Every structure is written in C-alpha cells, then in structure tokens.
C-alpha cells in the first residue's frame, strides 16, 4: 500500500516532473547574475569543435576527420579569425560569437593527465589535483560563496552531480517517464492535502515546479532542456547557479556524424536557454567544458581516442566575447603531449575560477582559493565577463 508521502511523489512525477529532492524551494536571490555549467561527459574533441585550420599539421593528422573551411559548396567550418574556425553544426553559437556573446579557450585542460573518464570527471567536478582527493564539488563551494537562504543551485539531471554536492544546499530536477496526470487528478489530490500542514507545502512546491517545467515531455530534446532550465533561472526568486549534464562525447568511431549531432544538440540547447531567459540572458554566463580532449591524430575506426587538451566555451549576454583565447602549442610531432595529444597550455581551473567569479560579482582570487584549494596556486583567468 502506498503511503501518502509516496503517493504525493508519484502524483507529482506523473504531473510532468520527477522531484529528486522532496521539495524545491529556492534562495532569496542575492544577485541577478546567473552562472551555468554544462559538462560534456565523455571527452569532447576540441580540435574539431574549434578547428585550427591554419595549423599546417592539422589536416594530415586528421585525414578524413579534418573539418574543411575552403569549399563554399558544402557545409564547412565557420571562420572565427585567421587561425581558428567553428564546427558547422554550431550555427547559433557562431551568431553569439559574432555578436560578442561567445568566446573560446583552446588547448585547455584540468590538472588530470591520465585518460580515465571516471577519474577525469572526478578531478573536473571536485577541483582537486588528483582523483578522489576532494569529496565535495567546486560548484557547491561556489554556491556557498553566493549565499542566500535555502537552495540557490540546481542541476538538470536525475541526481545531484558531484560538482554540486557539498555543504551548500542544492537540488536537481529531471523529467519523469511516467504519463502525465490529468487535471482532475491533480485537483483531487490538491483538495486531499489542503488541510495537511506538512503535505500541503510539499504539494504546492511540486505544482510550482510543474508550472515552471511547462509541457516538457519525458523524452527530453535539447530545446526542451534549454527551455526548462530557463524557466527556473528566470524566476526572480529562482536559482542563480545551475548545472546541465550532457553525454555521448566519447567518439572512438564514426566521429564526424556523431560529433555533428552532439554539437547540433548543444547549440540548440544553449539557444533555447538564451531565447527563453529573456532579459536575464544579459546577466548570464554559460561555461561548457569536458574532462579531457582527444588524440590529435585519427584512429583506425574513423574516430579519436582519449587525449589531453581540448576547448572550453563561454557563452552568454554577460560574456566579453568575439575572440579565441589560445597560447597555441602547435600540432607537429614535437609539439604534442606524449607525442599524441594537444598539449595543454591553459588551466581549466583558472578559467572556471575567473568566469565564475566575474559572472557572479565575486573576487577572482578568493574564488580561486575557495574552489581549488587542493590544486595549489590557481591563477584565475580574468577579463572574461563584462562588469
């Protein structure tokens, strides 16, 4: 027999949402600025996302995987400057770059130098120098710096990811696979709990979350994810920090088609977030990053293997964009890390610290020390976000 509490959760889920936490009550917002972290799980290939088309060794290493910039009769990479071009699937991202709302940091990596997805993601999410060195996540420590009452951070995922776990309160939200409940059922359940001091509050919170989610279906398409996230972030009393998980970036084979689909989905999601945030987009910074990059050379199955340096993306109305930041190491045999990977020349820790601090109006040095205390001296990259 279902308990009343369990039935409440099931009914709320059937209403179109799965509440991973019993209730979603957000902070009294301490700022109008918003920071969104999008993780690319699986090691995204930075060399084919922001393409170093002017690099003499690029085409030879990539072979059939090389992204063309020359043939005007086909869909080709979009030139950003005299060195780099953007993958052709990133149409909306290219528009943001052109309008000064996107920038890219190339040859960037966390301190992790091995090639395990699990260990690499642990280092990326915790902010340590080695796997399992730190137990909580840097995004949770960032939420604690922002302050406010109750939850000020949310993950759009079935459970709270490691990056958001820690002392600061955070929640997660994901669509349910259950069929939507009828309006009649919702009315009856609401009446049933009207006089219950404890469950009435839970039900009200569930219905508020359902209203924010709108008619997002159980099968999430990228546009729906962006719209869903915007619904929460646009609220006056909504969260100011969010995390969105994306997977499928591990392209060992058939990379060209798979990466194109992945990037089109990412592009669609970010555009939907932008379009549905309205005026709040002007105060928003979105950071997209992966645990490590992929090999400089193509493998024998039309893909690439686990590597090191990759590219990170910053997008948003608050971003001082229209540029590629890169201390380019080159792709000749002697330039590569361990003779196989794009050599990291920029610290992802420093990028995260600088972008997070500037996007939320925090001190970059203090933020770097708080988020990456186990990583040694982290120098935040600044000048990324408009004041």
Spatial separation of the C-alpha atoms in residues 68 and 270, rounded to whole Å: 25
Across-strand partners of 341? 295, 337
Alpha-carbon distances, residue 347 vs 106, 214, 316 (angstroms): 10, 39, 21
Spatial separation of the C-alpha atoms in residues 298 and 98, rounded to whole Å: 30
Other residues' Cβ atoms within 10 Å of the Cβ of residue 327: 12
C-alpha dihedral, 225 to 229 to 234 to 236, nearest 10°: 150
Q: Which H or E run contains 362?
A: none
CA geometry: angle 124, 126, 128, nearest 5 deg? 85
Picking from 39-53, 64-78, 133-147, 262-276, which range would have the lowest pLDDT averaged per residue?
64-78
Picking from 212-226, 248-262, 272-286, 357-371, which range would have the lowest pLDDT averaged per residue?
212-226
If you search the block for the tokens 């939850």, which residue do you land on?
A: 151
Q: What is the pLDDT of residues 316-364, one digit of tens each?
A: 999 999 999 999 999 999 999 999 999 999 999 999 999 999 999 999 9
Alpha-carbon distances, residue 230 vs 76, 116, 226, 237, 383 (angstroms): 31, 33, 6, 13, 25
Confidence of residue 13 (pLDDT cuts 50, 70, 90): very low
Decide if pLDDT at 217 tops 90: no
Give the sign of the dihedral formed by CA 72, CA 75, CA 79, CA 80: positive
What is the pLDDT, as a whole number, of residue 182? 58
Confidence of residue 7 (pLDDT cuts 50, 70, 90): very low
Other residues' Cβ atoms within 10 Å of the Cβ of residue 82: 8
Decide if pLDDT at 4 tops 80: no
Decide if pLDDT at 73 tops 60: no
Q: What is the pLDDT of residues 241-274, one digit of tens each?
A: 999 999 999 999 999 999 999 999 999 999 999 9
Picking from 128-137, 166-175, 206-215, which range would have the lowest pLDDT averaged per residue?
206-215
More confident residue, 83 or 12: 83
Output the average pLDDT for the chain. Answer: 86
Confidence of residue 161 (pLDDT cuts 50, 70, 90): very high
What is the pLDDT, as a whole number, of residue 200? 74
Which phi and psi angles does 125 have, rounded to 5°?
Answer: -80, -30
What is the pLDDT, as a whole number, of residue 149? 62
What is the pLDDT, as a whole number, of residue 111? 96
Domains and CATH numbers, the chain: 1-24+179-216 (no CATH), 31-175+218-375 (3.40.720)
What is the pLDDT, as a whole number, of residue 18? 31
């Amino acid at each position: 027999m279902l308990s009343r509490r369990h039935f409440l959760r099931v009914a709320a889920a059937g209403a179109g949402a799965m509440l991973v936490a019993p209730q979603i009550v957000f902070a009294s917002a301490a700022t109008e600025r918003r920071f969104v972290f999008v993780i690319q799980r699986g090691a995204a290939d930075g060399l084919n996302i922001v393409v170093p088309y002017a690099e003499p060794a690029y085409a030879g290493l990539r072979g059939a995987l090389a992204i063309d910039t020359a043939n005007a009769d086909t869909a080709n990479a979009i030139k950003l400057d005299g060195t780099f071009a953007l993958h052709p699937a990133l149409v909306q991202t290219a528009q943001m770059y052109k309008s000064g709302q996107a920038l890219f940091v190339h040859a960037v990596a966390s301190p992790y130098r091995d090639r395990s997805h699990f260990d690499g993601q642990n280092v990326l999410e915790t902010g340590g120098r080695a796997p399992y060195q730190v137990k909580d996540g840097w995004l949770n420590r960032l939420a604690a710096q922002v302050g406010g009452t109750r939850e000020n951070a949310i993950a759009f995922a079935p459970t709270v990811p490691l990056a958001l776990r820690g002392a600061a309160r955070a929640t997660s939200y994901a669509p349910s696979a259950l069929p939507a409940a009828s309006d009649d059922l919702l009315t009856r359940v609401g009446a049933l709990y009207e006089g219950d001091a404890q469950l009435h509050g839970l039900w009200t919170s569930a219905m508020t979350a359902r209203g924010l989610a709108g008619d997002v279906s159980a099968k999430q398409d990228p546009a729906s994810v962006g719209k869903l996230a915007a619904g929460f972030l646009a609220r006056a009393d909504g969260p100011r920090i969010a995390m969105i998980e994306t997977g499928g970036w591990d392209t060992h084979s058939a990379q060209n088609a798979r990466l194109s689909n992945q990037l089109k989905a990412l592009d669609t999601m970010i555009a939907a977030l932008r379009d549905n945030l309205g005026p709040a987009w002007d105060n928003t910074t979105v950071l997209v990053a992966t645990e490590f990059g992929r090999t400089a050379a193509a493998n024998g199955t039309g893909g690439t293997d686990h590597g090191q340096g990759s590219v990170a993306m910053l997008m948003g109305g608050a971003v001082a964009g229209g540029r590629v930041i890169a201390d380019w190491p080159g792709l000749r045999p002697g330039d590569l890390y361990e003779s196989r990977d794009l050599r990291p020349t920029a610290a992802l820790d420093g990028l995260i610290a600088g972008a997070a601090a500037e996007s939320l109006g925090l001190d970059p040095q203090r933020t770097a020390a708080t988020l990456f205390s186990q990583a040694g001296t982290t120098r935040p990259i600044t000048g990324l976000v408009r004041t």
